[in-house]
Amino acid sequence: MLSNSSKYALKAVLYLTLHTDENNKMMAKDISEKISVPKAYMAKLLQGLAKREIISSTKGPKGGFYINPSNKNRTIMEIIEVIDGKKKMESCMMGLKDCNEHKPCPIHSIINPSRSKMIALLESKTINDLAKDLKLNKVFLPS
């Protein structure tokens, strides 16, 4: 439902939101250490996120990755989509071509209401929302 890569990406984006801005950038290597993600893998993910403008980056000395104000308004779902693709979460869990009320699979009624709720929330919450919770110590980032 959520790939490993998405988890790492989300962790990284939240970490960056808490600890960086235009004049406090951070290198891939350091981020990877802070959130315990393999560094080369982290770098690749961050590059992908930067390309899609989920996060910001600058090259060269004193460069690095960071979050600027417009980045903060991305929703959680946007991050997941960039990594896993749009439809992964919405596809039929039993393998029907498309998942809908009109021709539901046997577990559609079990899965779908909860999943829809979940998706709606992921689409409404921004990374800034979650960052606020983190600052208040209401929630915790995996080591």
Partner DNA sequence: CAAAAAACATGATATTAATCATATTTAGGA
Partner DNA sequence: TCCTAAATATGATTAATATCATGTTTTTTG
**Site residues for a copy of itself per CB under 8 A:** 1-2, 7, 10-11, 14, 76, 92-97, 103-111, 113-115, 117-118, 121-122, 125, 130, 133-134, 138-142
Site for DNA contains 87 (CB under 7 A): no
- CB closer to ligand FES out of 20 and 112: 112
Crossing angle of helices 76-84/127-135, nearest 10°? 120
Q: Which of residues 9-38 bind DNA (CB under 7 A)?
A: 26-29, 38
User: b/e map of 43-52 (b: 16 or more CB within 10 Å)?
Assistant: bebbeebbee
Please select the residue that binds DNA; options are 19, 57, 93, 123, rule is CB under 7 A: 57
Name the phi and psi angles at 28, rounded to 5: -50, -45
- CB closer to a copy of itself out of 22 and 118: 118
Tell me which H or E stretch contains 58: strand 56-58
Please select the residue that binds DNA; options are 19, 21, 35, 47, rule is CB under 7 A: 47
Closest Cα to residue 68, out of 5, 136, 127, 27? Answer: 127
Contact 22, 72 (CB under 8 A): no
Applying CB under 7 A, the residues found at the interface with DNA are 3-5, 8, 26-29, 38-41, 43-44, 46-47, 50-51, 57-65
